[in-house]
Amino acid sequence: MSAMSFTDPAVMADLLAKMLWEIKAVHFNAAEPYKLSSGMRSPVYIDCRKLLSYPRVRSAVMDFAVATLLSNAGFEQFDCIAGGETAGIPFAALLADRLGLPMIYVRKQPKGHGRNAQIEGHMPEGARVLVIEDLTTAGGSMFTFIDAVRAAGGVVDHGIALFFYGIFPEAHERFDKGGVKLHYIATWRNVLAVARQQKLFDDKTLAEVEAFLDAPLAWSGRNGGVSAL
């Protein structure tokens, strides 16, 4: 079980942002923007999988996740933790261990042989399931897993992403319409704030990143990427 050393959301967001910079899991490059799978161009990039390679960091992040859930959802709201393929699986195992709960994982689609299962592990009918991903942009991938759990008889009212982009209005709309409360620890705004505080980049780069966060599709369009999704 977690000791929940930190419970203030602002403190946890700031610390996670600092950890992401320290382990080089986040990157800013406005001069040569990253091309995302959607076709967008972005001056920011994140790889939350790197958290797993740093034991002290990953332990603290799990403390933050537990504190976030218990503060915002409650202490006895879940029967099972579900990780989405693939990045959500190790974090689901870590979180389930902290909360003393069973764990399952959910494939993006049925595996196509054997039992043709999409959900691996034991999930009783009516189980209250928390779905976890390492990060979410607009919620599309998380709802792939949520829909699969619901179709198999599970109840999903909550999801958690360790990192939430927090820049696409449609993300909030998707979770509201889907009847799911999204919990998260940090966003790009927290990462930008730490970059400014620690003077990690020149003012022009920081201004370009802020412009992207304010209007991501417009920024993408100006920099050779798609301007609509």
- 137 known ligand binder: yes
133 is in an annotated binding site: yes
Token output for 1: 């079980």
134 has binding-site annotation: yes
Question: Does 139 count as an annotated binding residue?
Answer: yes
Which two three-digit tokens encode residue 104? Answer: 């399952």
Q: According to the annotation, is 111 in a ligand binding site?
A: yes
Please indicate if the annotation marks 117 as binding a ligand: no
Per the annotation, does 182 bind a ligand? no
Whether 86 has a binding-site annotation, put simply, is no
User: Is 113 labelled a binding residue?
Assistant: yes
107 marked ligand binding residue: yes
Q: Which residues are annotated as a binding site for 5-phospho-alpha-D-ribose 1-diphosphate?
A: 107-108, 111, 113, 133-141
Q: Which residues are annotated as a binding site for orotate?
A: 137
Q: Which residues are annotated as a binding site?
A: 107-108, 111, 113, 133-141
